[in-house]
Chain A
């Protein structure tokens, strides 16, 4: 299995531009999570989905952030308009509760820089 796939790996954009981050979870996983990592705040959960349905979006910082999961193999996190304080590494993770596991498998992350 290729693991969780994220694209792009690096994104540099200017303030005010729209940014779209993409994630392909591990096949068969029914949970998908979006995290943001910064030095100041550590790893923060933004939103998670179960069977493509958003379950908890309380971590989404503001209306500029939106996430979708149109099908079981694809999710996007969009920031519009982007601001310099959005600069961070964004991780996508997937998991399944099949069996006894609850391990979340993380992708390599997207490093976002907003100038």
Chain B
């Protein structure tokens, strides 16, 4: 089945700096790659997603890049703010897993003022 690896597990940046989180996946047939943000005591919430026919997608301060050949994708957050502090999860679906999402282990991001 699909295996999603996520790095780093923790990340601390200063307010205004950029943060980058990277994920790799194993199933070359996977075609949908969402990123979720989870705040304390809440369920994960989608912040951005990308499909395999696109290499990059941007939404204000958040961008995702996808390299299908290398089977990795990354989340970029620019001009970080304290409210960006949360746990971020990457996921992959399609291929053998069908519509089910296979999640990475998560990255705990801390943005210090």
Q: Is chain A's binding surface mostly helix, strand, loop or mixed? A: strand
Segment touching B, from A62-70, A80-88, A104-112: A104-112
Structural contact, A91 and B32, CB atoms closer than 8 A: no
- Give chain B residues whose Cβ lies under 8 Å from the Cβ of A102: 32, 34, 49, 93, 99
Across the interface, A42 reaches (CB within 8 A) one of B43, B93, B98, B104, namely B104
Nearest CB in chain A to that of B103: its residue:
A43
- Give chain B residues whose Cβ lies under 8 Å from the Cβ of A95: 99
Structural contact, B105 and A42, CB atoms closer than 8 A: yes
Across the interface, A55 reaches (CB within 8 A) one of B43, B89, B98, B103, namely B98
CB distance from A90 to the nearest CB of B (A): 11
CB distance from B31 to the nearest CB of A (A): 10
Structural contact, A103 and B103, CB atoms closer than 8 A: no
Is B100 at the interface (CB under 8 A from chain A)? yes
Structural contact, A106 and B44, CB atoms closer than 8 A: yes
Q: Which of B40-99 contact A (CB under 8 A)?
A: 41-46, 49, 89, 93, 98-99
- Give chain A residues whose Cβ lies under 8 Å from the Cβ of B99: 31, 48, 50, 95, 97, 102
CB distance from B30 to the nearest CB of A (A): 12
Structural contact, A106 and B102, CB atoms closer than 8 A: no
Given that A31-B99, A33-B100, A45-B102 are contacting pairs, would A106 and B34 also be in contact in the complex, using a CB cutoff of 8 Å?
no
Nearest CB in chain B to that of A50: its residue:
B99
Structural contact, B106 and A106, CB atoms closer than 8 A: no
Given contacts A42-B104, A55-B98, 16 further A-B contacts (CB under 8 A): A31-B99, A33-B100, A33-B101, A42-B89, A42-B106, A45-B100, A45-B101, A56-B98, A91-B43, A95-B99, A102-B93, A103-B46, A105-B46, A106-B36, A106-B43, A106-B44
B residues engaging A (CB < 8 A)?
A: 32, 34, 36, 41-46, 49, 89, 93, 98-106
A residues engaging B (CB < 8 A)?
A: 4, 31, 33, 42-45, 48, 50, 55-56, 91, 93, 95, 97, 102-109
